Structure formats: structure tokens, C-alpha cells
């Protein structure tokens, strides 16, 4: 009888990019799931899942992405940070609202979040799109790393411009490469490998005609929290999603239009250029989709990723 053992140690990582490190979405939503996955992989495969940090934000004026559905609490944030830091994982709030004004800088909840994460500036940081907010954070928390968001790249018109990215690299800890640029190997080859962060599972189609409008609607929605205007903006968001050409929406699959998700071959090509910092989005996804992307990019795909993913699914909905 032949006894086969589990892939252990580094063999449990994805073989095509074993040195890749990931900043994964889901902070304020899926941090417990992420910690459970990391803990399980450590115990079962003697391997640490290569997650550098988690990103996301609650429904606050500085956010411009999809907000957490979980109500924010200081105690909850502190508990989450404790769990993440125990696994050497940082927290990068997505304070990416490009419409921020001086009044927004006074928001107490956002200030509270910064106070908490700034206590571990060696692990934590913040993702920004507004120059006003970036300056505010730099003045109050100079040790806190800042990442330039894809939203900033979009509204600066930086897409496709190597000089623009390299200038961002001089000013920011890192920057997120626009999804339309993540398969352009000629452009990527001109960028600083330590500064660029590559999104691997962006669901928008290439050259999405609604991207800027979508970002702006989310930014307005966050700043209008609790008002009648927010309800009107929600209707606009619903219309944008309804007309979205992305085949990530099942009803659009007959269009056969590819998203910016990287294939395994494309991801390896980027990795082989020397890039090591990657970003997994998905904080608005359900736990099954979220777990699928988390495991398929970070872990060995034939045995480890499916086993861990199934474990997550059983944990979310126990078998009867």
C-alpha cells in the first residue's frame, strides 16, 4: 500500500509564484475567516499563507469602496487587529474617497481607526486617493505607510503611464496598478517591483466605461450617509450595476467579454518579471467566492486550495 502525505511547508504554496505576497480584501468583513484559514493551513500543512495585510473599511466618509455590512465598533476593531497581528498580518483601511474636503477630515470614526492602526505602523498602513487626506495623515501619523489607490490612478489619468507610476513610487509606500495595465508586460517592466501592487482578480472589463462613474457614486454615497441624498445615489449605483458589462454578473455571460481577472499564465508572467506584491479584491463577495479567490491564488491548486476551500464552506454552512 502506498501512503501519500499532504504537501507540507512551501510545497503547500502555489508552485508558480511561491514568493508572492498578498494584500487581501475583506477587512471589517472577513478577517475572522482569513485568520481561520491561516491557522488551519499552519496546523495542517506546516505553512504560513502569504498574506501581508487585509484592506477594507466600514461605512465612513473617507471610504469610497463597498462598505462593510458589519457595524463598526472600536472593541471589534481592536479584537480583529489583535487576531491579525498575532499572524503577522497588517490592516490597511481603504480611505480612498477622492471627494474628501476639510470638514470630512474631522470625522471621529476615521480618526479613531487611524489611532488604532498607527500603534503598529510596522504592520499597518492606509490606502488613499485624496491628496488632501494623504497630507492630513502624513502630518498626524508620519510613520504610517500610505498606498496610492487605483482610484487615485484613475482620476489622475495615470493609466498606461510608467512615468506616472514611478513618480507615485517616490511619494508612496506602494501604489496599486490600474487593472487595465496589469497584463501590459512592456509597461510593467518599467516599474519598480517593490512599489507596484498588482490586482489579480478585478471583475471589471478592460477599459470599463463606467469605472470612474462607479467610483464617484460610491464616494458620494459614503459622504451622504443617513441622508435622503444617499437613497438617490443608491438608485444611481443600482443602475450602474444593472448596466455593467462584466460577465462576473451571470446575466451578462453571453456577452463573452473578459474581465481583468488574471489567468494562471498571465499571473506567472507578471511574477516572472519580478513582481511579488499582489492584491486580491472581494470584500463585497459572499464567503464562498471570497474563499475561492483567496485559496486559488495563495495555495497549491491541485490539493491544498480545494481542501481548504471546502473546509471554509463547511464552516460557513455546516452539513446537516
Neighbours of 140 (CB within 10 A): 13
Read off φ and ψ for residue 174, nearest 5 degrees. Answer: -150, 175
Q: What is the mean pLDDT of residues 215-242?
A: 76
pLDDT in the model for residue 318:
47
State CA 144 to chain mean position distance. 18
pLDDT in the model for residue 247:
54
- Nearest C-alpha neighbor of 24 from the set 215, 205, 270, 290: 290
The yes-or-no verdict on residue 74 having pLDDT over 60 is yes
Q: What is the CA radius of gyration of the chain?
A: 19
The yes-or-no verdict on residue 238 having pLDDT over 80 is no
pLDDT in the model for residue 230:
74
- Nearest C-alpha neighbor of 116 from the set 95, 134, 141, 147: 141
The answer to whether the beta carbons of residues 219 and 64 sit under 8 Å apart is yes
Q: What is the mean pLDDT of residues 91-110?
A: 95
pLDDT in the model for residue 3:
52
Q: Which CATH class is domain 20-207+261-315?
A: alpha beta
Domain ranges of the chain: 20-207+261-315
Could you report the per-residue pLDDT of 118-139, keeping only the tens digit for each?
999 999 999 999 999 999 999 9
Could you report the per-residue pLDDT of 12-49, keeping only the tens digit for each?
999 999 999 999 999 999 999 999 999 999 999 999 99
The yes-or-no verdict on residue 255 having pLDDT over 70 is no
**How does DSSP assign the chain, residue by residue?**
-PPPPPP-GGGGB-TT-TT-EEEEE-TTTTHHHHHHHHHHHHHHHS----EEEEEE--S-TT--SPPPSSPP-HHHHHHHHHHHHHTT-EEEEEE--TT--TTGGG-HHHHHHHHHHGGGTTT--EEE--HHHHHHHHHH-TTS-EEE-HHHHHHHT-TT-HHHHHHHHHHSSEEEPPGGGTT-HHHHTTS-TTTEEEES---SBTT-TTHHHHHHHHHHHHHTTTSHHHHHHHHHHHHHHHT---TTSGGGGGG---BSPPPHHHHHHHHHTT--EEEE--TTS-HHHHHHHHHHHHB-TTTHHHHHHHHHHHHHS---
Contacts of 85 (CB under 8 A, 6+ apart): 120, 123
Q: What is the mean pLDDT of residues 291-320?
A: 86
Neighbours of 171 (CB within 10 A): 12
Q: What is the mean pLDDT of residues 168-172?
A: 97
Residue 64 binned pLDDT confidence (cut-offs 50, 70, 90) = confident
pTM reported for the whole predicted model: 0.91
pLDDT in the model for residue 229:
78
The yes-or-no verdict on residue 2 having pLDDT over 60 is no
Amino acid at each position: 500500500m502506498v501512503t501519500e502525505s499532504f504537501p507540507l511547508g512551501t510545497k503547500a504554496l502555489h508552485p508558480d509564484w511561491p514568493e508572492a505576497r498578498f494584500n487581501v480584501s475583506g477587512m471589517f468583513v472577513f478577517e475572522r475567516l482569513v485568520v481561520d484559514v491561516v491557522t488551519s493551513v499552519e496546523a495542517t500543512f506546516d505553512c504560513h499563507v502569504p498574506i501581508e495585510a487585509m484592506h477594507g473599511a466600514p461605512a465612513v466618509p473617507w471610504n469610497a469602496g463597498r462598505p462593510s455590512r458589519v457595524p463598526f465598533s472600536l472593541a471589534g476593531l481592536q479584537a480583529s487587529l489583535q487576531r491579525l497581528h498575532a499572524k503577522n498580518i497588517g490592516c490597511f483601511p481603504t480611505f480612498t474617497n477622492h471627494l474628501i474636503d476639510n470638514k470630512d477630515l474631522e470625522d471621529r470614526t476615521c480618526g479613531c481607526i487611524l489611532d488604532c492602526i498607527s500603534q503598529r505602523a510596522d504592520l499597518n498602513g492606509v490606502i488613499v486617493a485624496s491628496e488632501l487626506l494623504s497630507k492630513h495623515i502624513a502630518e498626524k501619523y508620519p510613520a504610517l505607510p500610505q498606498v496610492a489607490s487605483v482610484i487615485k490612478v484613475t482620476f489622475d489619468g495615470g493609466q498606461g503611464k510608467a512615468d506616472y507610476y514611478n513618480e507615485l513610487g517616490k511619494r508612496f509606500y506602494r501604489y496599486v496598478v490600474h487593472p487595465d495595465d496589469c497584463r501590459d508586460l512592456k509597461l510593467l517592466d518599467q516599474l519598480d517591483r517593490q512599489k507596484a501592487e498588482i490586482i489579480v482578480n478585478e471583475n471589471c472589463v478592460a477599459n470599463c466605461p463606467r469605472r470612474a462613474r462607479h467610483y464617484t457614486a460610491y464616494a458620494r454615497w459614503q459622504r451622504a450617509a443617513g441622508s435622503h441624498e444617499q437613497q438617490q445615489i443608491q438608485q444611481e449605483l443600482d443602475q450602474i450595476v444593472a448596466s455593467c458589462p462584466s460577465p462576473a454578473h451571470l446575466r451578462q455571460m453571453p456577452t463573452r467579454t473578459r474581465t481583468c481577472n488574471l489567468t494562471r499564465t498571465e499571473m506567472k508572467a507578471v511574477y516572472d518579471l519580478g513582481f511579488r506584491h499582489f492584491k486580491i479584491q472581494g470584500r463585497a463577495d459572499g464567503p464562498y467566492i471570497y474563499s475561492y479567490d483567496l485559496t486559488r491564488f495563495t495555495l497549491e491548486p491541485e490539493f491544498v486550495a480545494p481542501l481548504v476551500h471546502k473546509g471554509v464552506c463547511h464552516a460557513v454552512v455546516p452539513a446537516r
